Structure formats: structure tokens, C-alpha cells
Amino acid sequence: MPRFRQFIVVLSSVLAAAATPAGAAAQPAVTAIRDHIDPTQLRARSDSFAVMIQGAPRGWQRVAITPRGNGWELQDAITIGTMVQQSSRITLNSALEEVSLRQSGVMSGRPMTISLDFANGHVRGTADTPTNGPSGVLTIDTTLSAVVVEDNAVTPLLVALRWRESLDIRFPVLASGKGTIMTYRIRVLGADTNTVPAGTFDTWRVELTTGQSTLLMHVTRTLPHRIVRMTSAGTPFDIQLVK
């Protein structure tokens, strides 16, 4: 169950937990993910996915971007049977700095909520998730650099990256359920072709890693970029674009 729970957190912006050792090659410097965003690709959009477990459909995921005033609202919702129902809403200002996170749902039969507000280099709020154990709500109140993005914002923002064959970036991420900072790495491994319910696409094969886990993604090579598929070694999950 811990491996399953961490994989769901990645797709909803909680990363998969199949440990994969990092390579020995030199890594790029840590920079803000927004430095790699193509502003022309931030537009109203929504993608829907089927969640496959051992080849059979068991749930769905929907990721969307919506203009809100001078900024944006990112939405990520996922349901897998009765095991997981989770919905996240993230607001960003015009500089793509996070303003708030509101997340709620059920995981492993237990209600969970995260409520965070970001202002003046600080994040404050609470997180009540199964990973915090039976002790109850975790209070988060800490200084936060403007270059840090919160983990639930990562998946919705990926479609707006400047994707290319040489892409290899590292960026700091706030683990919203714990209040700690991690470093994520995204790098393009090569080109391939993927067939999913939405059709056949020429894609970039992309590795998304934290210090202890790896997610394999396939992103269309042509604009507008879309995530076509997401899988993780050591888990039975296969997330495929439907429409």
C-alpha cells in the first residue's frame, strides 16, 4: 500500500515510490520551473486519462488549466475505484508564483485535506493525510523561496514546458503534505511513438525523478504539448490519454 499511495501522489502531484538510483552523470543546476515555461502554451485546456491497473481500466484522471483574473487555476483530479478520490485546485499569479492550494479527497478509506496559502516568501496552512499517521493534522508554517513550486502544480504545468530533445532541468518542489523541500529532475531520454485511446502520437520519452522515485512519461513532440502516457517501474499503473 505505501508504494501505491506514493504513486497516486505523483500523478496528482504526489510522486510514485518505486526507487530508482540516480545516475552518476553531472546534473544541471537547480532553477525555478517557471524559467522553463513557454507563456504562449498557458491557455485554457483540459486532458482526460484512463487509469489502467494490470491492463484493465480502474479509474480516471483529469488535468486542466483555467485563466483566473491575472493568473491561473490548475486543477488535477483522480479517482481509482473506492481506494482514491482526490481533487486539487492550485492558483498562480501572473508571475506563475503559487498563491494557494486546496486539496481534498479520500485515500485508503481515510479523508484527507491540504490547505496552503503562499505570500511574501512564506507558506502557511495544514495537511491531514494518511502519510502523517494517526497523529492528526500537520501545521505548515515556513519560509519559502519564490523559485519553489508546490508538488500538486507540477503535472498541470508540464504541458507548458519548452519541450526539446536536450531538455534536462532540476527544480525545487514543496512536498505539500509534509512541508519539506525536494528537488525534482525532468529530462528527455529520446523520441518514440505511443498509441493510447486518444490516438497515436509522436512523443518525447521523459523521465521525472525525485531523490528516490522515477516516473516515465510520454509527451507529444508537436504543439500543443500533451501528456500521452505515465507509468512507473515496480507498479501496475498505466495512465493513458483518452481525450
Q: What is the mean pLDDT of residues 38-55?
A: 95
- For residue 133, the model assigns a pLDDT of 65
Collect all residues with Cβ–Cβ distance below 8 Å to 114 and sequence separation of at least 6: 101, 102, 103, 104, 125, 126, 127, 128, 129, 176, 177
Task: Answer yes or no: are the C-beta atoms of 202 and 191 closer than 8 Å.
Answer: yes
Lowest mean pLDDT segment, chosen from 7-11, 69-73, 147-151, 201-205: 7-11
**What is the Cα Rg of the chain in Å?**
17
**C-alpha cell of residue 47:** 486532458
The percent of residues above 70 in pLDDT, for the chain, comes to 87
Residues 104-133 have pLDDT tens digits of 999 888 899 999 999 999 999 999 988 766
Which pLDDT does position 2 carry in this prediction?
37
Please state which of the ranges 16-20, 66-70, 99-103, 221-225 shows the lowest mean pLDDT.
16-20
pLDDT tens for residues 165-215? 999 999 999 999 999 999 999 999 999 999 999 999 999 999 999 867 899
DSSP class of residue 133? G
Q: What is the pLDDT of residue 16?
A: 32
Residue 10 has pLDDT above 50, yes or no: no
pLDDT recorded at residue 135: 64
Domain locations in the chain as residue ranges: 2-241
Q: Which residue has the higher pLDDT, 233 or 115?
A: 115
pLDDT of residue 221: 98
Query: What is the mean pLDDT of the segment spanning 47-75?
Result: 96
Helices (H), the chain: 2-11, 154-157
Q: What is the pLDDT averaged over residues 5-21?
A: 40
pLDDT surpassing 50 at residue 157: yes
What per-residue confidence (pLDDT) applies to 132?
67
> Per-residue pLDDT for 4 more than 60?
no
In the block, which residue shows the cell 519541450?
163
- Mean pLDDT computed over 72-98: 95
Band (pLDDT 50/70/90 cuts) for residue 15 is: very low
The mean pLDDT value of the chain amounts to 88
- Give CA separation, 8 vs 14, 40, 185, 186, 231, in Å: 6, 29, 18, 18, 11
pLDDT of 50 higher than 50: yes
In the prediction, which pLDDT does 194 show?
97
